[in-house]
Structure 1
Amino acid sequence: MSNTFGKYFSVTTFGESHGPYIGVVIDGCPAGLKIDEAFIQDELLLRKPGQSKITTQRKESDHFEIISGVFNQTSTGTPITILIKNEDHRSNDYDFNKDSFRPGHADFTYQSKYGIRDYRGGGRSSARETATRVAAGAIAKLILKQKGIEIFAHVYAVGKIFNQQLPNLSIEELKTLREQNVIRCVDQEIANQMIQNIDEVRKNGDSIGGRINCIIRGCPPGIGEPVFDKLQAELAKAMLSINAVHGFEYGSGFEGTTKLGSENNDPILEGTNLKEGIISDTNHTGGILGGISTGQPIYFNVGFKPVSTILKEQETVDLNENPTTIKGKGRHDPCVVPRAVVIVEAMTALVLVNLIFKNSNSKI
């Protein structure tokens, strides 16, 4: 079951980086939902490789095919199956690590767990798999849209370059700003600095990490469970399931550990009601109290490590435990965060739909 996410809106992904197809089966999508295929395709294009010089040059159109669960552009209530063809896999690029383990990759752990591994681009451990999550997340977003819930993620850090100021604009306006540059940062000046930094790292055969900020607007109070299925815990699990994610924080996060309680608490002001949520001048809780949404905007940060494949020689061992060296080959992102923005949004949508369906036991 490790390939399945969610119980009420269940998503099972399948396929490998260099197999003929990757795909996803969605079980629990209610009947009667208008399936906007153009929207799904637009979401996939935000994640697809080959977008610019600062992303992998693998060329995939990421065109998809729905082969079940949809009739006349409307969900039937039965499982929805989506296929995406792998069009540009070059398996020979990975012959160099057939008998050796790449530092920072899952080569060693997959070999340890299964006794066999698909060394072609990492097989199942490749971020290629996340295209299927984006497709499923797009359908989840269509459900959330009917409920007035919006999700927006953007790059706010690359290495040591930060942009922490998010303009007070609508989600659509923020998306327009974000898509004005290939890094997906809403500040054009900071974006240019980030792009230059990534390009310098790429030319040196190295990689660099970054951070993505995500906000949720329109989520009503009362979403989430009080103990083991807390909203922040489900979000953390979802984010940490994304390739290269090494960190998650919500609300005041780690900075909150430096504050006093009197500084970190959010005063609840007059006008607060059960249906619309807390009114406060601050939101250090990140829109969550006791694992349950407060009705305020929900926000969190996701930290991505530097991509593990670098064009520098590194020490490793082979299948016989003999010391050797290895140097990366193939086509890889020098920084993963520009293409990961839509993945963060997709996993957020999957979490929310599951908790909303669990909360109300209702559908659309």
Structure 2
Amino acid sequence: MTWILGNRIKINIFGESHGPAIGGVMEGLPSGIKIDMKAIEDFMARRAPGRSSLTTARKEADQPIFHSGILDGVTTGTPIAFTIKNSDKRSVDYSDLINRPRPSHADLTARLRFGEYVDMRGGGNFSGRLTAPICLIGGILLQVLKEKGVHIGAHISKIGNIEDKKYDLLNLSLEALYKTKNKEFPTIDSEAGLNMQDYISEVRSHKDSIGAIIECGVVGMPAGHGNPMFDGIESSISKNIFSIPGVKALEFGNGFDVASMFGSNHNDQLYYGEDGDICYYSNNSSGIVGGISTGQPIVFRLAVKPTPSIGRLQKTVDMASGDNANVEIKGRHDPCIGIRIVPVVEAMTAISLADYLF
């Protein structure tokens, strides 16, 4: 089981990659909220495998079965519980790996933590397959937040040395946020996207994989929400984003570049606008100061590691014989998990922010 705990919205996801089903439970939504099921289906499809030649060939319908909490498309106020069937499994691909942990997978650490009977077929409970229930829960919360005027979007910012356009920290628009949501390959600049796809194909031809940087933006988060220290908005987003399999780094606003900035350049100076509202000349703090929202756009970037499942011969150990060994991973895998992780980032961001708005 995997818990993401909040003060008001609590979620629990469960299941294993090659088990009969995966699923989740969400508590804390009030009754009477109408959910657009077609929009949920479309959002889930963005994450689903098998949609592109650049993603795993595993095909899952990802059709949720709701067991409680939603009746005729409206929340009832009780916990929302659902399952998603695993239908396209090839466990035979993992039969030779039981005692030979795959490099940079959780095979070894899972066995050390849970013992020799842990189910690691397809990555087990550690698999990116478990991001499907995250997307379902996040997809519901994205709709709820949108009704509250909070909008969330993300795109692939960089793969290899190829970069997409970046979000404008101060003047991030709804048009920019929603521009990539219906794209099969989610980049703002279509030419950059084509170059990235060619590069991924080249990497895949060498039986290798490549990492990615994803940029996420939030527009409309009202000022004054959040808490200092341990329960701040940055703290919540960071904890939840790092719960996504494969995420290795995270930065807000100007990120690591702030280390070389002067305070006179970094400080977001203030002025009164024509309507009397407090405004900012810059947004280097990325909409969060002291763990509390300023009302400005929230922008952050995360780095996703290369898919550890590659077709090349790699060194490992044989835990049954006690000898050094080699492993050659078979199966169906993404050459770049950055493509399908974009909606997962949007979902996790919605989960993070919803807790502050109920």
| TM-score bin (small chain) | over 0.9
Instruction: Kindly state the Cα deviation for residue 169 of structure 1 after the two structures are TM-superposed.
Output: 7.4
Structure 1 gap ranges (5+): 358-364
CA deviation map 1:76-114 (0-9, x unaligned): 100111211111011101112111000010000000001
Residue aligning to 2:111: 111
SS at match of 1:133: helix
Indicate how the Cα distance of structure 1 residues 177 and 345 shifts in structure 2: closer, same or farther if over 3 A, else same. closer
CA deviation map 1:188-218 (0-9, x unaligned): 1100110001000111100000011011000
- Aligned counterparts of 2:7 and 2:268: Cα–Cα separation in 1: 33
CA deviation map 1:292-340 (0-9, x unaligned): 0000001100110101000001110121432000011100000011110
Matched letter for residue 146 of structure 1: E
- Aligned counterparts of 1:252 and 1:279: Cα–Cα separation in 2: 19
- Aligned counterparts of 1:103 and 1:273: Cα–Cα separation in 2: 58
Indicate how the Cα distance of structure 1 residues 272 and 337 shifts in structure 2: closer, same or farther if over 3 A, else same. farther
Instruction: Kindly state the Cα deviation for residue 174 of structure 1 after the two structures are TM-superposed.
Output: 4.5
Please provide the CA RMSD for this pair: 1.8
Moved over 4 A (4+): 167-170
Judge conservation of contact 1:26–1:79 (CA < 8 Å) in 2: yes
SS at match of 1:144: helix
Is 2:20 aligned against 1:26? no
Pairing of 1:251-262 with structure 2 (within 5 A): 251-262=253-264
CA deviation map 1:263-297 (0-9, x unaligned): 111111123999x6x51221100011011000000
Residue aligning to 1:127: 128
Judge conservation of contact 2:106–2:126 (CA < 8 Å) in 1: yes
Residue aligning to 1:360: none
- Aligned counterparts of 1:130 and 1:53: Cα–Cα separation in 2: 20
Matched letter for residue 343 of structure 1: V
Pairing of 1:161-310 with structure 2 (within 5 A): 161-166=162-167, 170-172=173-175, 174-177=177-180, 179-180=182-183, 182-271=184-273, 278-310=278-310
SS at match of 1:52: coil
- Aligned counterparts of 2:319 and 2:110: Cα–Cα separation in 1: 12
- Aligned counterparts of 1:294 and 1:273: Cα–Cα separation in 2: 17
Residue aligning to 1:335: 336
Judge conservation of contact 1:156–1:163 (CA < 8 Å) in 2: yes
Instruction: Kindly state the Cα deviation for residue 171 of structure 1 after the two structures are TM-superposed.
Output: 2.9
SS at match of 1:356: coil
Residue aligning to 2:313: 313
TM-score, normalised to structure 1, is 0.93
Judge conservation of contact 1:56–1:332 (CA < 8 Å) in 2: yes
Instruction: Kindly state the Cα deviation for residue 143 of structure 1 after the two structures are TM-superposed.
Output: 1.5
Judge conservation of contact 2:165–2:189 (CA < 8 Å) in 1: no
Pairing of 1:120-159 with structure 2 (within 5 A): 120-159=121-160
Instruction: Kindly state the Cα deviation for residue 45 of structure 1 after the two structures are TM-superposed.
Output: 0.2
Indicate how the Cα distance of structure 1 residues 177 and 130 shifts in structure 2: closer, same or farther if over 3 A, else same. closer
Pairing of 1:58-73 with structure 2 (within 5 A): 58-73=58-73
TM-score, normalised to structure 2, is 0.95
Instruction: Kindly state the Cα deviation for residue 5 of structure 1 after the two structures are TM-superposed.
Output: 3.6
- Aligned counterparts of 1:135 and 1:101: Cα–Cα separation in 2: 31
SS at match of 2:335: coil
Range with bigger deviation, 3-12 or 241-250: 3-12
Range with bigger deviation, 110-119 or 240-249: 110-119
Judge conservation of contact 1:221–1:292 (CA < 8 Å) in 2: yes
- Aligned counterparts of 1:60 and 1:107: Cα–Cα separation in 2: 24
- Aligned counterparts of 1:95 and 1:162: Cα–Cα separation in 2: 39
Count of residue correspondences: 354
SS at match of 1:32: coil
- Aligned counterparts of 1:146 and 1:176: Cα–Cα separation in 2: 19
